[in-house]
Amino acid sequence: MGIEVGLAAAALAVTTYGTVKQVQANKEQASAQQESIRAQQQAEAARKQAAELDAMRRRREIVRNSIKSRSVALSTAISQGAGDSSGATSGSQNITSQEGVNLQGVDQNLALGGQIFDANQSRFAAESRGVSAASSALTYGAISSLGGAVLKNTDRIDRIGTTLFSKIGGGGGFSYSSYAGNR
């Protein structure tokens, strides 16, 4: 009976050790995944900022080019003696209209980019929740396995307790079966 009790104690110790290490590894893995998600979020924020800066530069370039085009058109019309003509006014209006279309295109692209960035942020948040849930599931699974191992080996654990308490003078010690019967 001594060997069986020793093996049962060793099995319980190894199971407990394995469960503790599994829980630690799960936490480390979840932490690493969360760190990766945070890095992706930072990169996404930097890309969004770059897109906003690019849009701002494009707007300035469109306005600058529009001013140049209106100046050239007005200068040409004046040099030809048609500065007050309807043709010069119409040409200037066309340039202004094209400027508005170009600016609207930049704004639309920026809005679509913002939607993509927001969707990516939502995805990162969902991935983060998934990592947390998976880590919890693995942790609880490991604890459940330990509980199952203890429950499966209650007779052996009972014998360990009985053997230990009888050797130290406890007169039989704790008995799981007597405890379970008194509940």
Contact 145, 23 (CB under 8 A): no
pLDDT score of 124 more than 50? yes
pLDDT grade for 1, boundaries at 50, 70 and 90: low
Task: Decide if pLDDT at 150 tops 50.
Answer: yes
Annotated domain spans of the chain: 2-152
Q: Which residues contact 64 (CB under 8 A, 6 or more apart)?
A: none
CA dihedral 84, 85, 86, 91 (to 10 degrees): -80
CA distance 62 to 110: 15
Q: How far apart are CA 43 and CA 129, in angstroms?
A: 19
Residue type, 3: I
Average pLDDT over residues 39-64: 93
pLDDT of residue 5: 67
130-142 pLDDT, tens per residue?
888 888 888 888 8
- Contacts of residue 27, defined as CB under 8 A and 6 or more positions apart, other chains included, come to 135, 139
Within 10 angstroms of residue 142's Cβ, the number of other Cβ atoms is 20
Contacts of 26 (CB under 8 A, 6+ apart): 135, 138, 139, 142
In the predicted structure, residue 92 carries a pLDDT above the cut 70: yes
Q: Is the pLDDT of residue 14 over 90?
A: no
In the DSSP assignment, the letter for residue 85 is S
pTM of the model: 0.60
CA separation for the pair 20, 152 (Å, rounded)? 19
